[in-house]
Chains A and B, each alone.
Chain A
Amino acid sequence: MTTQDTEPEVVVVGVDGSEAGERAARFAGRIAREAGTTLLVVYVVPWSPFAVQTAEENEQRRVTKQRETQEAQEGIVDPLVAALGAEGVKAEGVVRHGHPAETLCDVGEERGATHLLVGRRGQSKVRTLLFGSTPGNLIQIATVPVTVVP
């Protein structure tokens, strides 16, 4: 008997405020409800500690971070959690800063998630070639199954 059997299972869905993210959240909600697991709705504010900033941005960074967190929480995560809750899904919201795919994996590992889900924005090939995509990155680094919802 492993520890995972005793703790309630968790499913993680990454959202970004887009329609695709919302579709993924709905899909994940169905899975979570059927399996009786908790659904973590995770929003990652893209952030790199190696991005060069101006002195003024640095000075205001703490305030900016708080604002970004609050906006994501109140504008995107909380409404989704509430809507899913109304449909009988046991959902929780999380907002983090960092590299989107890596941070989704980190949250998943911290909470012992068994499944990661994300939406797909259908961005252009050039953009994907240049910057990669969160689903693309996620399937390379995830340690649990990943579902990409179109």
Chain B
Amino acid sequence: MAAGLAVESGGVDQVINEAFTQVSTAVQRVIFFAVEVAGVDIPLVVVWLAFAAVFCTVYFRGINLRGFRHAIGLVKGDYTRPDEVGEVSHFQALATAVSGTVGLGNIAGVAVAITIGGPGATFWMIIAGLLGMATKFTECTLGVKYRRENADGTVSGGPMFYLSRGLAAQGKAGLGKVLAAAFAVFCIFGSLGGGNAFQSNQAFAQMRDVTGGDDGLLGGSAAGVMFGIVLACFVGVVIIGGIKRIARVTDKLVPFMAVFYVVACLIVLLGNAGAIPEAMRLIFTGAFSPEGITGGVIGVLITGIQRAAFSNEAGLGSAAIAHSAVQTNRPVTEGYVALLEPFIDTVVICTMTALTIVVTGAYTSGGTEGVQLTSDAFETVLPWFPNVLAVAVVLFAFSTQLAWSYYGAKATAYLTNESRVADVVYKSVFLAFVVIGAASSLDVIIGFSDAMIFAMSIPNLIGVYLLIGVVKRELTEYEADLRSGVVSKVNA
């Protein structure tokens, strides 16, 4: 009776929350299998991602920094031949991928990292972002190299295609098919978690916060579901209804929002200029000798890497799907361009969020979590900013959801041989998760999101290791052509 009453008073949100918690816990136990080293649990999948980033960085002799200038040149269009004008430019491929990665991970994820790992997590996030540039370089080169040009003139690319086609070219067709299918399955689930539920969860949290919290407009027990349904309607109109206009408007707004967000961070930093040296000290000392953090240095390191990967997606393979639409006859050029993505996402935007939180000391007060923590940090200098942040958060969430629904739909298409029915089923489930995300609590959502997203890295990185020689050859030939002038700036 008492239990029945509790559920009743908690409402619909609570019922969904409880059912989801059980599934989420089970999934996490598998994906985040951890080994204990010196008293600290280290999830193997995080080591897996970090090792790949270091390996790619070393294998390509620091392409992360070495290729930076050339990447900018490519994005500016310095190397675009006249016959390529009117096709997808490097800038457009990058912008589309970035609007998928820049989302709540940059705002709420960073707050989560600092709540768990302290200011020192920032340091490891930046390092993970810098190293992740090499992973992204590798996977996006492969994405273009093995993309498929369909009979109707469209292009399809991403890990499904480089795993199946790339490995088939090496005589490992069977393995390629298995890895591609595994990736597609994880991608579908990842698109429902991190790419979707987490986004609507945090968008709702921020909207409720600015409308008066628990006592405000969105304070009721079913408000999460209601908010989720409204958001799902907008997503549904675009992905099922095919109303591209909304997607186009959002995609145009997101880059401005990102710039606006960084500017707001800079204003907060300027307002607390005196506290910056102390914040820097906290970040560095926190990175190497943290106080009061579970797991000490390793705990902080793991938190930082985990949040960075969740935000910039390096090693997961998702962005390779978006990057592979570019017009180029040299796959490695898109690799160069893609390495800018973790830089923009993690090294610039995540760092800005982190500095804002650390400088204002918002993380020390306790009580708030996720996006609200970031919002509190802004409020100390710009009292009206939480309202703007709420709009930005909803837009970021929406654009990230659109991007991930695209990734998931491509994975579904790959698995079902472009079945129209499967496409509609997938998109309907996706919309359901928009609602689940808004109704469920943060811990459960983050755990589930992470598990699904990180699972993608398993088949993806196996493929990356097996195909890394192909990328090396492409890079070596391209660098030789750059030196000899075969590839040179157009109109220079």
Contacts and interface: CB of A to CB of B under 8 A. Distances in A.
Majority secondary structure of chain B interface residues (helix, strand, loop or mixed): helix
A62 B327 contact: yes
B291 interface: no
A54 B247 contact: yes
A51 B325 contact: no
Nearest to B402: A54
A55 B86 contact: no
A53 B153 contact: no
A129 interface: no
Interface residues of A, number: 25
Contacts of B473: none
A1 interface: no
B91 A50 contact: yes
Interface residues of B, number: 36
B88 A58 contact: yes
Interface stretch (B92-100, B198-206, B269-277, B302-310): B92-100
Given A55-B403, A97-B86, A62 B244 contact: no
B89 A54 contact: no
Given A59-B325, A63-B153, A52 B95 contact: yes
B244 A49 contact: no
B439 to A, nearest CB: 28
A51 B87 CA distance: 12
Interface in A27-74: 45, 47, 49-63, 65-66, 68-69
A98 interface: yes
Contact of B92 (A53, A60, A65, A66): A53
B61 interface: no
A56 B100 CA distance: 13
B252 interface: yes
B322 A61 contact: no
Contacts of B88: 53, 58, 61-62
B251 interface: yes
A118 B36 CA distance: 74
A96 interface: yes
B170 interface: no
A65 B326 CA distance: 13
Given A49-B77, A49-B85, A62-B153, A55 B322 contact: yes
Nearest to A51: B92
B153 A58 contact: no
B86 A54 contact: no
Contacts of B90: 49
Given A49-B91, A52-B254, A62-B88, 19 more contacts: A47-B86, A49-B92, A50-B91, A52-B92, A52-B251, A52-B255, A54-B406, A55-B321, A55-B325, A56-B406, A57-B248, A58-B88, A58-B322, A58-B325, A59-B154, A61-B325, A61-B327, A62-B87, A62-B154
Interface of A: 45, 47, 49-63, 65-66, 68-69, 96-98, 106
Identify the 5 closest CB pairs spanning chains A and B, nearest first.
Answer: A97-B86, A49-B89, A58-B325, A63-B153, A55-B406
